[in-house]
Amino acid sequence: MQRIAVFPGSFDPITLGHFDIVKRAIPLFDKIIVAIGENAQKNYMFSLEQRIDFLEKTFHGFPNVMIDTYKGLTVDYCKVKKANFILRGLRNPADFEFEKAIAHTNRALTHQELETVFLLTSSGKSYISSSIVRDVIRNKGDYSLLVPNAVKIN
């Protein structure tokens, strides 16, 4: 059976923390789907097309990393994609508590068939979040130290 992981998120924008998690997870899975969840209620800084472009450029040259979008529950998307793992990154204890509750819910919804795999963000990247990056961008700061080179703001 192929080991397929979904790495869900809004990626508004992708950060070096996200990149770190995916890059380190590549040896663990046969395929990783970086999946942008669409939420009509959220106000994104970057359009869906921009976020897809950032991800495609960032993971160009990584043959087992795919980029996709989805609406609805992540567990339903995983079922459609025949994924048996959800990949999540943890930066701090608060992330763990939040992600643990979601992981338990996802296992219950899938009758224990979907595992969540947590990777700790590398220590030098644990402070980076998309919301911090957006704040730096809004305030005309140097965001380039926080995101992959593919993230360019015109």
Two tokens, residue 34: 């970086």
Q: Is 145 annotated as a binding residue?
A: no
Give Cα 69 distance to the centre of its chain: 11
Give Cα 122 distance to the centre of its chain: 15
Q: Is 144 annotated as a binding residue?
A: no
Q: Is 82 annotated as a binding residue?
A: no
Q: Is 130 annotated as a binding residue?
A: yes
Cα separation of 2 and 49, whole Å? 29
Cβ count near 10 (within 10 Å): 17
Which positions are catalytic?
Answer: 18, 42, 91, 130
Q: Is 91 annotated as a binding residue?
A: yes
List CB contacts of 42: < 8 A, sequence separation 6 or more.
10
Q: Is 90 annotated as a binding residue?
A: yes
Binding-site positions: 10-11, 18, 42, 74, 88-91, 99, 125-131
From the annotation, which residues make up the binding site for substrate?
10, 42, 74, 88
Binding-site residues for ATP, in ranges, read 10-11, 18, 89-91, 99, 125-131
